[in-house]
Structure 1
Amino acid sequence: MGSSSASRNVDVLREKKFSIFGFTFAKDLDPVRMFFAEVLGTFILMFCLCGIIASTQLMRGDVGLLEYAATGGLTITVLIFSIGPISGAHLNPSVTIAFATLGAVPWSRVPFYIAAQFLGSIFGTFAGISIYNIRIESIVTQPLQGLKTAFFAEFMATFIIMFLAALISCAPHARTGQVAAFAMGVSIALAILITGPVSGGSMNPARSIAPALISWNFEGIWLYILAPTVGAVLGASVARVLRLQSRSCSLNSSPNAGLICQVNH
């Protein structure tokens, strides 16, 4: 009886401790801290994107795709390191919905995640255009090569990001987990590079809806909601199927679309 009880206690501890890109924290995230972390995270993301657009305009040049992609990737990297242990650093409604669909995030928490992400995006966009005095039109994402092309570009980019993030976050090697945030930043930067000329490189409903609301320009907004969400769900699902034989990895909400690998010690 004593041995059985001790074994159960060890199992409980293992279920509650998880490693996220090198961080170890409890599975049950504090909802209040999670909410404000997501608000601040999306605020910082949108403010930084406004900042790089303003910088290029102040230098009397057009917004370079390489600079924009680098800013997005670097911002995501530092946000994963900073707020990842607090909220999982979803920063994207499509990511949250993908986790909920797979049972990694309770549906009861999804509205709070999404509300936080939209609030942060709206505040960040408003702060950016106000401080830098740039036109809101420069932040709005619009289909540049037709709706169909933009839809599939957003879909494929989000699918790839979620697929890679899930596998990277659940890699069997400890060193991989330690640099996973950098890998995520690079993958997002690459996704922006390949989708920017076609769709504006959104891959995030909150990133597109906030500028659309402020400018009251909803052209093609549906594809920036539907394509990333479907792509995220399918990307995470395919990654999960490929990882089914790995007993040490359990699906859960992790920084920016990853998996949380259970700590077995």
Structure 2
Amino acid sequence: MAEVIVVPFRRIAIGNYEEFRQPGAFKAALSELISTLIFVFAGEGSGMAFSKLTNDASTTPAGLIAAAVAHGFGLFVAVSISFNISGGHVNPAVTVGAFLGGNITFFRGILYIIGQLLGSVIACLLLRVSTGGMATAAFSLSTGESVWNAFVLEIVMTFGLVYTVYATAIDPKKGNLGIIAPIAIGFIVGANILVGGAFDGASMNPAVSFGPALVSWNWKNHWVYWAGPIVGAAVAAGIYEIFFIDHSHEAVPTVEY
């Protein structure tokens, strides 16, 4: 029997800087900006609203459930409205995972991430203005939670998210399962918030962490919310690409998602 050698991330496509000038790439990045704005406005705004209504009791069990529901619903909508334009990433970690699998070029991915970060910042600025100057809370670690605990937690939670994206949205064999991709993606984020929200806020998304950190200018342990999700996304993409996606019949690698 011939030996089969599996090369992870063999389909990575770099693209070129000309993509920055392509109307389609710009429209996709704008779609990511708008979707991320809507998602962050709903998620971050729900926490601010709950704090106002409960005298800063957003870290209670009820507050955690409210955050999970708001983020799950918000992400479901955000992915749905951009799915046919950009692929509905709404998350730099998802974009990194898609890039590693050869589903989006490097240069197009950069445009997506810029759009996602801008969308998050704009959402937080709009929240500050529309709430009379209320602070947008940056993600932070709970008492007793170390940065390495949070790092592992973000890896595991983002692994689950990106693996779900691959299974329901990227896999060529998904068939009709793609119809429920936005629901599944929203559900896994909501479920993970119920797990990790009490420990480190359960980001799973560098853009979601970046906007509040910039607007509140609080960068403490911010690296965790980039490093953890990116590592988790890379692991999920690697496992799914190596073991579950069959590209043997593809003549030309897909470079867009």
Query: What is the aligned partner in structure 1 of residue 86 from structure 2?
Result: 87
Query: What is the aligned partner in structure 2 of residue 59 from structure 1?
Result: 53
Shift of 1:229: 0.5
Structure 1 85/29 Cα, relative in aligned 2: closer, same or farther at 3 Å?
farther
Amino acid at match of 1:238: I
Structure 1 242/251 Cα, relative in aligned 2: closer, same or farther at 3 Å?
farther
Shift of 1:233: 1.2
Shift of 1:38: 0.9
Structure 1 149/86 Cα, relative in aligned 2: closer, same or farther at 3 Å?
same
- 1:165-204 paired onto structure 2 within 5 Å: 165-169=165-169, 170=171, 172=173, 174-204=175-205
**Superposition TM-score, scaled by structure 2 size:** 0.80
Query: Using the alignment, how far apart are the partners of 2:96 and 2:152 within structure 1?
Result: 19
Aligned 8 A contact 2:26 2:111 in 1? no
Query: What is the aligned partner in structure 2 of residue 7 from structure 1?
Result: none
- 1:246-265 paired onto structure 2 within 5 Å: 254=257
Percent sequence identity over matched residues? 26
- 1:1-265 paired onto structure 2 within 5 Å: 30-60=24-54, 62-63=57-58, 64-133=63-132, 135-136=134-135, 139-144=137-142, 145-169=145-169, 170=171, 172=173, 174-245=175-246, 254=257
Query: Using the alignment, how far apart are the partners of 2:65 and 2:255 within structure 1?
Result: 32
- Kindly provide the CA deviation profile for residues 231-262 of structure 1, in whole angstroms up to 9, marking residues without a partner as x: 101111111222234768986654xxxxxxxx
Query: Using the alignment, how far apart are the partners of 1:103 and 1:168 within structure 2?
Result: 17
- Kindly provide the CA deviation profile for residues 139-158 of structure 1, in whole angstroms up to 9, marking residues without a partner as x: 21012211111111101000
Query: Structure 1: any 5+ residue segments left out of the alignment?
Result: 1-27, 255-265
Shift of 1:187: 0.8
Whose strand proportion is higher, 1 or 2? Answer: 1
Structure 1 51/93 Cα, relative in aligned 2: closer, same or farther at 3 Å?
same
Query: Using the alignment, how far apart are the partners of 1:119 and 1:84 within structure 2?
Result: 19
Tell me how large the CA RMSD over aligned residues is: 2.3
Shift of 1:60: 2.3
Query: Structure 2: any 5+ residue segments left out of the alignment?
Result: 1-21
Aligned 8 A contact 1:140 1:208 in 2? yes
- Kindly provide the CA deviation profile for residues 90-109 of structure 1, in whole angstroms up to 9, marking residues without a partner as x: 11111112222222211121
Query: Using the alignment, how far apart are the partners of 2:111 and 2:249 within structure 1?
Result: 29
Aligned 8 A contact 1:33 1:86 in 2? yes
Aligned 8 A contact 1:141 1:200 in 2? yes
Shift of 1:202: 0.6
- Kindly provide the CA deviation profile for residues 52-90 of structure 1, in whole angstroms up to 9, marking residues without a partner as x: 123313322522111101111111111222111111111
Query: Using the alignment, how far apart are the partners of 2:164 and 2:98 within structure 1?
Result: 15
Amino acid at match of 1:142: S
Shift of 1:29: 8.4
Amino acid at match of 1:183: A
Amino acid at match of 1:157: M
Amino acid at match of 1:166: Y
Aligned 8 A contact 2:40 2:124 in 1? yes
Structure 1 253/231 Cα, relative in aligned 2: closer, same or farther at 3 Å?
farther
Count of residues paired in the alignment: 226
Shift of 1:112: 1.1
> What's the secondary structure of 2:235's corresponding residue?
helix
Aligned 8 A contact 2:105 2:256 in 1? no
Amino acid at match of 1:84: F
Query: What is the aligned partner in structure 1 of residue 6 from structure 2?
Result: none
Structure 1 98/133 Cα, relative in aligned 2: closer, same or farther at 3 Å?
same
- Kindly provide the CA deviation profile for residues 103-134 of structure 1, in whole angstroms up to 9, marking residues without a partner as x: 22111212211111111100001101221236
